[in-house]
Amino acid sequence: MGANFNLKTLTVALAALSAASIASAAGLDRSGQDITAFLQDGTYAETVYTYLDADVSGHDNAYVGPDKNAYQQGKKIDDIAESYDFFRYGVKADINDTFSVGILYDEPFGAAADYSGNNNFVDQNPLSPRNGEGTNVEVRTENITGILGAKLGENKNFQIYGGPVAQRVKANVKLRGTAYEVANGYTTNINADQDYGWIAGVAYSKPEIALQAALTYRSEIEHNANAFESYPLAPRVGGSIPPVAGGPFVFPSTRDGDIEITTPKSVNFDFQTGINPTMLATAKVRWVPWSDFAIVPSLYNEVSTANPAYRPDGLSLVSYDKDQWLVELGLAKRLTPALAVTGNIGWDSGAGNPVSSLGPIDGYYSAGLGAKYNFTENWAISAGGKYLWFGDAEGQIPSKTVVSNFEDNDGFALGMKLSYQAK
């Protein structure tokens, strides 16, 4: 066989760019749910900080007529994407040469958008108590994953792993402006809820050529949270329904009740292999079935059934038409025994177009650079940056009416990682 690509000599190059390796603009995906910290040799720990800043601007729809898909450029919509940051932590240890344990923390799903200015997504009614308020959405989630792994085979090349996942989710959505028709003024606050799922995977490694491959499945997680809804125009909508036995029906303007939210399952494939003793090739593929995901607050859904076209199921507040695919390819090069650099390119399919006006991006292309420096035998610091070219997208409201258009947008991600490894 040819040159031995000892994994230890390439460890300095591993995941140098992952400090800024966020997943995507598809759906609510954010962290990419990376588990590579658990796949490291020996005792390993990392702290990762990621910051994302995007410019997502466009125009509202000036078209007036029956065609839901028609678009005519309207008023300017300034940048709606709020910058956000999040942390990721991981720790892993070997019990013996067969069993390993680990704990991972990340913030897998989220959204942060805020409309302002003079457009159809801001309440412009001087008589409204919400005059000047813009459409706003904030979604945050937190995951804690426990993993137990067992290495199998004569040379311990195979590993199976799995464990429980605890997830916390909360959200706040405000719909403002004439773009949302009768839902102008609608607000829902979804209180924090914690529930549980699981993770399972299999990995294969061949240290002599620095090869490692891992396939990881995460289950969906069902939440039953408390949600308070305010729908100022709901009574007027109810009063417009033709009378039924006992008199006309009137929807309430507020409701305090439960909401079921199921965060999606996912599959990640992580791969690396040595090209020569100082260079590593990496690949990542991620799939998330966002077409199965929906946020359906009960009052919002119930009021939508006043329109016979949306009966019997009513409308979701947020939903997506397609599943997400993410592909990232990279190279890592060890320049010195302590310093390595990386570069990667990526593609994200998005979750359909038109897409929700609360996140009007149709996937992205990306390019990134990073570096990792071992300042002691065990401690290292990594830094990375990634530029993202967002796909053009039309924004739609839940009735599938196009209400906006967003073009030529971009963003960047920056990350830093502090890691410790002892073999």
- For the CA atoms of 359, 361, 364, 368, the dihedral, rounded to the nearest 10 degrees, stands at -50
pLDDT at 23: 43
Q: Both tokens of residue 404?
A: 């906006």
Q: How far apart are CA 37 and CA 41, in angstroms?
A: 9
**What pTM does this model have?**
0.92
Superfamily of structural domain 7-115+142-165+196-220+266-295+318-422: Outer membrane protein transport protein (OMPP1/FadL/TodX) (2.40.160.60)
Q: How far apart are CA 117 and CA 179, in angstroms?
A: 14
Supply the Cα-derived Rg of the chain in whole angstroms: 24
Is the separation of the CB atoms in 25 and 390 below 8 Å?
yes
What are the structural domain ranges in the chain?
A: 7-115+142-165+196-220+266-295+318-422
Model confidence pLDDT, tens digit, residues 108-155: 998 889 999 999 999 999 989 999 999 999 999 999 999 999 999 889
- For the CA atoms of 20, 280, 101, 141, the dihedral, rounded to the nearest 10 degrees, stands at 20
Reading the chain (423 residues) residue by residue, the pLDDT tens digits are 345 555 444 444 444 445 445 444 678 888 889 999 999 989 999 999 988 889 999 999 999 999 999 999 999 999 999 888 888 999 999 999 999 999 999 999 988 899 999 999 999 999 899 999 999 999 999 999 999 999 998 899 999 999 999 999 999 999 999 999 999 999 999 999 999 999 999 999 998 888 999 999 999 999 999 999 999 999 988 766 665 555 567 899 999 999 999 999 999 999 999 898 889 999 999 999 999 999 999 999 999 998 889 989 999 999 999 999 999 999 988 888 888 888 999 999 999 899 999 889 999 999 999 898 889 989 999 998 899 999 999 999 999 999 999 999 999 988 899 999 997
Q: What angle do CA 403, 409, 415 make, to 5 degrees?
A: 125
Is the separation of the CB atoms in 179 and 121 below 8 Å?
yes
Residue type, 395: G
Helices (H), 222-327: 234-239, 298-304
Q: Which of 10, 36, 109, 22 is nearest to 344 (CA)?
A: 22
Model confidence pLDDT, tens digit, residues 58-82: 999 999 999 999 999 999 999 999 8
pLDDT at 16: 41
Q: How many residues does the chain have?
A: 423
Tokens 């396939």 -> residue: 215
pLDDT at 247: 54
Residue ranges with strand state E in 180-292? 187-206, 211-218, 221-230, 254-263, 266-276, 279-288
| Contacting residues for 246 by C-beta, under 8 A, at least 6 apart | none
Which DSSP category does 199 fall into?
E
Strands 279-288 and 266-276: antiparallel
Mean confidence (pLDDT) of the chain: 90
Number of H-type helices and E-type strands within the chain? 3, 24
pLDDT at 19: 47
pLDDT at 193: 97
Q: Which of 20, 40, 16, 39 is nearest to 31 (CA)?
A: 20
Model confidence pLDDT, tens digit, residues 410-423: 999 888 999 999 97
pLDDT at 243: 58
pLDDT at 43: 95
Which DSSP category does 392 fall into?
P
Q: Which of 17, 15, 51, 10 is nearest to 35 (CA)?
A: 15
Is the separation of the CB atoms in 347 and 367 below 8 Å?
no
How crowded is the C-beta side of 342, counted as CA atoms within 13 Å? 34
Tokens 């995901």 -> residue: 293
